[in-house]
Each structure stands twice: as C-alpha cells, then as structure tokens.
Structure 1
C-alpha cells in the first residue's frame, strides 16, 4: 500500500523585500509637479519680498549713510539705531499720530461705506449712476486728491471756509491745515473721503450675496429693521467686513503721499506718522539705518495684524461660518 505524500508549501523568508505599493510613484510625481508649479511664485516672493525684508532688517543694525553707496562700508553698530529712534520724541509722537489717523480713518470709511452700501442695496432710479459718481474719489490718484483738498482747505482762499462764512457758521477762516490742533483731523477727513468708495463697493458686493430668504424669515418673525440688520446682515457680512478692515488697515497705517502732499508732516510735526518719519529719517536726515528701524516697526505692526486676521479667519472656518 503506497502512502501519498502531501505537497510541500514553500514559505517566503520574513526579510523578503516587498514590492512598492502601486500608485506611490504617481503620488511622488504629482507632488513634484505641484512644487514645480509653485516654484516661480516662491522665487518671486523670495527675490522681491524676502530679500528686501532681510536687507532692511540688517540695515537697521548698520551705520548706513550716503557714503556707503560709494565706499560699500556699513559697519554694524548694534542697537544704536534702535535706541536713537525710540528715544526720539518725533518717533513717539508719530506712533501716536499713526494710531489716531488709522483708527479715525477706518471708523469713518467703514461706517459711511457700510451706510452707503445698505442704502444702494435697495435699488432706485439712477442708483447705478450715483454709485458710479461716488467711485470717483477712489479712481483719482492719492497725490492729486491731496492737492485738490489742500486748495479746498486753504485758510484764506479755500472753498470750504468760503462756504462756512456764507452760511454764517464761522466769522473767520478755519486753519484746517495750518493749526496743530486741526491739521491731523483734516488729514483724517480727507483720507475718509478717499476710502469711502472702496468700502462701499466691497460691502455692497457682500450684501448681494446674503440670501433674501433670511430677510423674509426675519420679517415674518416680526423683526424690525435694526434687529434684522444686527441679527442677519452683520453676521452674514462678517467675512467681508474682516477683509475690508484688514485691507484698509494695511493701506492706512503706512500712508505717506497723502500726508506729504497735504501738510508735509506739519505744522509743528502735528501730522507726522510712521510713514513720514521713515521718509524724513531716510531722505532728509540721510540716516538710512534709523529709517530702516521705523520701517521695521511698520512691518512688525502689519505682521501682527495679519496674524490676528488669519487666526480670526481660521476660527470662522472652524465654526463653519
């Protein structure tokens, strides 16, 4: 009687190499292609943003003068530039003026821009024409607008003082640009006039994206206009409001041309801001190291505000808003 033997099963060794999972090479290829696509943008950012930023930071620690451009020598002086700037009363005043100018401008631009956006959201005859006319301050170059307003606010021959005297509101001309007590307020009002159209256009676009069903539901619940605005319009408009305020802050905190054309930082340094101080230290005093310090302060302020903006947006995204 023959005994049948079972066929032996060969077990592969434990250390046998495994074949690469299918699709791994294609994923690597896809990742490489993504980096190749964004490489030009990264190189552009490094060349035109990263390098100037690094050079500006290094310059703030150097004794950088016009002779440096001929000799190439800019010795490091540690924190001397920073100490000189922070101990300068002009910098302290400019920091305070920048805060007042920025907050006043943002409040005025946003409040009036939102009011106009809500007003134009209810369409009426000639609404498009009126909106187009209100866009003109935004289209006019900043320097041109400042020169025009300088003529309007002139104490002796300005149109505004002539109108106030005709109405009997003032006996003499108001020194809009020649009084240290009024000059900064005048600059804020001019900047508000310039920034209203931008706020109005962006907020108007945001209002058009709010579903009409929400307003109908609120009216059915008996909510009044103010309750509807507070409970429906503002919450739905929050992402747009954030963008408007951030962009407005970025353009206002570093403003230079408007102040230079209106008052040149005067009278008695009453309208000096961080932007004008940077210009004055770099191109009037010719101390580029100290000018770089003020520029770095502006960059730091903008960076902090940008981080807060990104965190707020992340919180809104996480909450599903």
Structure 2
C-alpha cells in the first residue's frame, strides 16, 4: 500500500513583481502573552480590596458557619477539636421557647423602624428641599443623632425614659398623665427601643432621600404647577415615583442595619424584662456570651439566620432592579 505524504500547507503569495512565492508555514498556536504593566497595576490595586474582603467578610462568615455546625465548648473553642453535629444546633434554636417571641420582636422592630424612619426622613427631605433661610443649618442639626456614638445615644434615651427621674415621665406628670415604666415593663420595653432606634435612623434617610430630590429636574415641578397641580399632587405624580430607585436602596440598607441592631437594645433593656424586647441580635449574643456556659453553636446559628434574611432581601432587591432596567 502506497502512502502519500502531504507537504505542509504553503499558501502562495504574490511578491512585488507579481510572481507567486510560497508563504512560510503559519503557527497555529499563538504564544502566550505576558501580563502588561497595566494589568499588573490593576491586580495591585485589587489586592488590598480582595485581602480585606477575605479577612473581614469571607473568613468570619466561614467561621460562623463552622461554629453553627459543631458542638463548641470553651475548651474545644480554644483547642479546635469540636465534634461535627450537622444541623443539630439549628434544631435546638427552632425548638427553643425563645425562638417564637424573638422572631416576632425582630419582625416588629424592623418593620416599624423602617416605616417611621422612611416616612419621617422623606417628609423632612421634602421640607428642606424648599431652600428656605436657615435650611442648611437646621439640616445639619438633624444629623446629630446619626453622628453620635450609639452608646451615647442609647444611654441618653435610657436616662430620658427612666421611670423615676426621666424627663419623659416628668413631662407626662406635668400634663396629668401617670408615669410609664418604659424600660422595666414588658408592655413598653419594645416600644422604647423602637422609639430610640427611629430617632437614630431618621438622619440617614433624610440625607439619602434629600440627595435623591436634588436629582429631580425643577422643570417638571414648574410644568406641573402651570397645569394647575397642587403640592400634594406634584408629590404623588413627580416626587414619589422618581424617588423609587433611591427609596429602594434606602430601605434595603435600613433593613440590613435594623436587623442587626444590638447596641441600642442591649444598653437600654438587655432584651428584657422577661425577653419582652429580645431580638435575634440580642438572643445570639446571650447564647454565645451572656451565660457562664456559653452555647457557641446555637448562638452562631441565630446569627446565620440574620445573615440569610439580609441576603434574601438583597437578592429580592437585585431581582427588582433587573426587571426595572429590562423594562
């Protein structure tokens, strides 16, 4: 059997005189390009951010997940030989009598705070958008609750709502109303921490929503005024619809912040009395650090529930944003 050998593919090319010459064989495997100086610079700028995310976000989340899947004690926490228990810590949390009230308090605390923070912040943003005299000064004063350390704000509210010497009960007594046990009554403890957290969160909503109002063209209001639209109608037909993207991110950030509020509740009521103001944030701390025999696993499980809730709302926000951009 004769074997025919095929010569290498040499495509003919024409030189300047028009004669056909054989082109050199082409190399089908292109050489690997080395990173340029610009690419190295880009990686250099990304390295600190990546390192920060790994050290302060990825690793703590991994450790918290590992805590919730093992039976950690004080000894095993130090030595690192805790046995793997799977989802047993989550079962312990779901079967705990505190789970139901803590869930209800967390939902109530988050929903009421978000509603009033957004409503009051939006009303103040529209009010200051009028650009009257002393508008900038008053707007700066409203930022004071946001700038104060949380421990200072919580301590101040604890003093104001004190049953015996608080200024709130003094005002109530002055108008003929009996004193209220704001911090020591199971009926009022959750309301007290909600009021304090609303006061702290309003400035954030004011700043973000006021920035959103600055981006709305004034010509739209002028055209609506020429058409005879009143202030209320201009708000519902122009201001509120155009503020939807800003409102969405404001509510999302407020939701994530409110879910993990711990300082205010712990300083004012410590989750009591009788767990009447206990939320998932304070319950997680009590399980992990509030007892002589800490339950690290269940405490980490409660913390992971908060992470999952925040992540779920974040995914919902991204889905809504994609639909808006697609339409």
CA distance in structure 2 between the partners assigned to 1:161 and 1:252 by the alignment? 27
Q: CA deviation at 1:289?
A: 0.8
Residues 248-296 of structure 1: per-residue CA shift (max 9 Å, x gap): 1111101101001110000110100010001000002311111110111
Q: CA deviation at 1:223?
A: 1.8
Query: Measured at CA, do residues 29 and 140 of structure 1 come closer, stay the same or move farther in structure 2, by a change above 3 Å?
Result: closer
Query: For residue 202 of structure 1, what is the aligned residue in structure 2?
Result: 208
Q: CA deviation at 1:27?
A: 9.2
CA distance in structure 2 between the partners assigned to 1:311 and 1:47 by the alignment? 29
The 10-residue stretch of structure 1 (260-269 or 214-223) with the greater mean CA deviation from structure 2: 214-223
Query: For residue 287 of structure 1, what is the aligned residue in structure 2?
Result: 295
SS in 2 for 1:67: helix
Query: For residue 93 of structure 1, what is the aligned residue in structure 2?
Result: 101
Q: CA deviation at 1:305?
A: 1.2
1:121 is aligned to 2:125: no
SS in 1 for 2:261: coil
Q: How does 1:263-302 map to 2 (within 5 A)?
A: 263-285=269-291, 286-302=294-310
CA distance in structure 1 between the partners assigned to 2:240 and 2:40 by the alignment? 43
Query: For residue 239 of structure 1, what is the aligned residue in structure 2?
Result: 245
SS in 1 for 2:272: coil
Query: For residue 141 of structure 2, what is the aligned residue in structure 1?
Result: 133
CA distance in structure 2 between the partners assigned to 1:215 and 1:105 by the alignment? 31
Which one of 205, 230, 235 corresponds to residue 224 of structure 1?
230
Query: For residue 159 of structure 1, what is the aligned residue in structure 2?
Result: 167
Query: Measured at CA, do residues 179 and 114 of structure 1 come closer, stay the same or move farther in structure 2, by a change above 3 Å?
Result: same
TM-score (norm 1): 0.88
CA distance in structure 2 between the partners assigned to 1:195 and 1:28 by the alignment? 47
1:214 is aligned to 2:223: no
Q: CA deviation at 1:71?
A: 3.5
Q: CA deviation at 1:151?
A: 1.2
Query: For residue 308 of structure 1, what is the aligned residue in structure 2?
Result: 316
1:17 is aligned to 2:27: yes
Q: CA deviation at 1:26?
A: 8.7
Q: CA deviation at 1:174?
A: 1.1
Q: How does 1:42-191 map to 2 (within 5 A)?
A: 42-168=50-176, 170=177, 172-191=178-197
Q: CA deviation at 1:221?
A: 2.2
SS in 2 for 1:89: coil
Residues 174-216 of structure 1: per-residue CA shift (max 9 Å, x gap): 1111211111111111111111111111111111111101111
Q: CA deviation at 1:19?
A: 8.7
Stretches of structure 2 that go unaligned for 5 or more consecutive residues are 1-17
Which one of 250, 259, 268 corresponds to residue 265 of structure 2?
259
1:41 is aligned to 2:44: no
Q: CA deviation at 1:166?
A: 1.0
Query: For residue 326 of structure 2, what is the aligned residue in structure 1?
Result: 318
CA distance in structure 2 between the partners assigned to 1:55 and 1:69 by the alignment? 11
Residues 199-254 of structure 1: per-residue CA shift (max 9 Å, x gap): 11111111111110111111222222222111111121112111211111111101
CA distance in structure 2 between the partners assigned to 1:310 and 1:70 by the alignment? 40
CA distance in structure 2 between the partners assigned to 1:289 and 1:110 by the alignment? 36
Q: CA deviation at 1:69?
A: 3.8
